[in-house]
Structures are given as C-alpha cells and as structure tokens.
Amino acid sequence: MPLIKYKVFYRVDKQIYDVVRLDFYKTGKYCKAYFVTNNNLTSAIVIDYSDGVVNGDLMRFTGKKDKDRTEIYGGHILEYDGERCSHCGELQYNKHKPYLVSWNDEDACFEITNDENYMDNSLCENSMKIIGNKFQDKELLKGD
C-alpha cells in the first residue's frame, strides 16, 4: 500500500512544496497545510468549507512513479511516450496529447485523461513522464 503523501501548490509564490503536516479544524471547517519555505515553517489554507480564502492547493501522491522514477501526484501533467508497454504490450493511447492526473470523487480513484482518451489508474509506469503540473504549466493542457 502506498504512503499517503501530499505536496501543496502555494498560490502566494506559485511554487510547490512538500507538506510536512496537515491540520483539520472542525470549528472553522477548514484544513491547513504546513510546509517549509526559506527555512521557515509556512502554512496555507487548502480547504475551506466556510467560503473563506484558500491560498493553497493539495496534490496527493498517487502511489505511482513515472518512467524516471519520479513520484506522480494529482495535478501533474504526463506525457505518454508511445513506446509499447512492457506490461500490456499495446500502443493504445495518443502520444501527442498531454494527460492530466486528477482525483475522481465519484469513483474514489485517480484518473489520467486528456480530451481524447482516458487511462485507468493501472497506467504503465515505463511509458509515462511528468512534464509539468496544472498550476504552473496550464498551457500544456490547451488543445491544438
């Protein structure tokens, strides 16, 4: 079973950091993520059910790694290299369109999609590479 790990996209400086602690506040109905920036412990509100200011976005570890062995998180943009998968032996996805990794609440799983294809969460790790994320590299998701 993969470790539950998070990163946070901090909207203030538009950077991504490893989360060192998450605090859930029942009375305030919000969640705060703590991370280190410039040797200082910093926090961002990442969930707020009272319509307050959210200044961070959580990225959850999928339990998968790309072909370079880099951990894949929700929000990452992946490129399929078109090589035959050593697991399934098939070329079944469009290698020219980037894929977005996102959480599907309804099915309670990560999904990998673009505007033409859907990959289930059993993606072939040796055929995918992280090329960016939806916060800093939105242009990668725009159509031709």
Region 62-137: CATH code: 2.30.30.290
Phi-psi region of 25 (alpha: psi -120 to 50; beta: other; left: phi over 0): beta
Residues 28-71 pLDDT 10s: 688 999 999 999 999 999 988 777 789 999 999 998 899 899 99
Number of Cα atoms under 13 Å in the Cβ half of residue 5: 13
Whole-structure pTM over 0.85, yes or no?
no
Mean pLDDT score of the chain:
83
The two beta strands, 15-25 and 6-10, are antiparallel
Amino acid at 111: E
**Ranges of each domain in the chain:** 6-57, 62-137
Mean pLDDT of 76-102: 71
Helix (H, G, I), strand (E, B) or coil at 141: helix
Question: DSSP assignment, residue 116?
Answer: S
Residue 17 CB-density burial (10 A; 0-12 exposed, 13-18 middle, 19+ buried): buried
% of the chain beyond a pLDDT of 70? 80
pLDDT at 83 over 80: no
Average pLDDT over residues 92-110: 79
- List of residues 6+ apart from 27 with CB closer than 8 A: none
If you search the block for the tokens 């590299």, which residue do you land on? 137
CA dihedral sign, ordered 106, 107, 113, 114 = negative
Sign of CA dihedral 9, 61, 80, 116: negative
pLDDT at 105 exceeding the cut of 80: yes
Task: Give the tens place of pLDDT for each residue, 118-143.
Answer: 665 555 667 789 999 999 999 998 86
The one-letter amino acid code at 107 reads D
pLDDT value of position 112: 84
